[in-house]
Amino acid sequence: MKISIIGAGQVGSTIAYTLLTRKLLDELVLIDIAEERVRGEVLDLRQGQSGIGTTVKITGSNDYSLTEGSDIIIITAGIGRKPGDSRLDLARKNSNIMKGIIERVKVNENSILFIVTNPVDVMTYLALEVSGFDKNRVFGLGTTLDTVRLWSLLSEEFGINASSLEAFVIGEHGDSMLPVFSHLGPEFERERLLKVFENVKVGATDVIRLKGATTFAPALAVVEVVESIVNDRGDVLPISAYHEDHGVCIGFPSNITRSGAYPTEFELNEEEREKFLKSVDIIKGEIRKLQEG
Ligand code: NAD
- Asked if 15 and 132 sit in the same domain, the reply is yes
Residue that terminates a domain, selected from 140, 168, 184: 140
Question: pLDDT confidence of 130, banded at 50, 70, 90?
Answer: very high
Nearest protein CA to atom 42 of ligand 1, as residue: 218
Enclosing domain of residue 59: 2-140
- Asked if 163 and 98 sit in the same domain, the reply is no
Averaged pLDDT for residues 239-252: 96
Q: How far is CA 213 from CA 201, 203, 204, 245, 266, in A?
A: 16, 11, 8, 35, 32
Model confidence over 32-42: pLDDT tens digits?
999 999 999 99
Residues 6+ apart with CB under 8 A from 257: 228, 229, 232, 233, 234
d(CA 86, CA 100): 22
- SS3 of residue 240 by DSSP: strand
Question: pLDDT confidence of 87, banded at 50, 70, 90?
Answer: confident
Averaged pLDDT for residues 101-111: 91
Residue that terminates a domain, selected from 79, 112, 140: 140
Question: pLDDT confidence of 89, banded at 50, 70, 90?
Answer: confident
- Asked if 22 and 114 sit in the same domain, the reply is yes
- Asked if 192 and 87 sit in the same domain, the reply is no
Question: pLDDT confidence of 88, banded at 50, 70, 90?
Answer: confident
* pTM for this model (two decimals): 0.97
Domain of residue 279, CATH code: 3.90.110.10
- Asked if 95 and 230 sit in the same domain, the reply is no
Other beta carbons within 10 Å of 52: 11
Q: Which pLDDT value is given to residue 86? A: 75
Question: pLDDT confidence of 80, banded at 50, 70, 90?
Answer: confident
Average pLDDT for the chain: 95
Closest atom, ligand 1, to C-alpha of 115: 41
Residue with more model confidence, 126 or 208: 126
Question: pLDDT confidence of 163, banded at 50, 70, 90?
Answer: confident
Model confidence over 206-239: pLDDT tens digits?
898 899 889 999 999 999 999 999 999 999 999 9
d(CA 39, CA 61): 6
52 within 8 A of 19, measured Cβ to Cβ: no
Domain of residue 24, CATH code: 3.40.50.720
Model confidence over 46-58: pLDDT tens digits?
999 999 999 999 9
Q: Which pLDDT value is given to residue 90? A: 87
Pocket of ligand 1 (CB under 6 A): 6-12, 32-34, 37, 76-80, 97, 100-101, 116-118, 120, 141, 145, 173, 213-214, 218
Among all residues, which ones are annotated catalytic?
Answer: 173
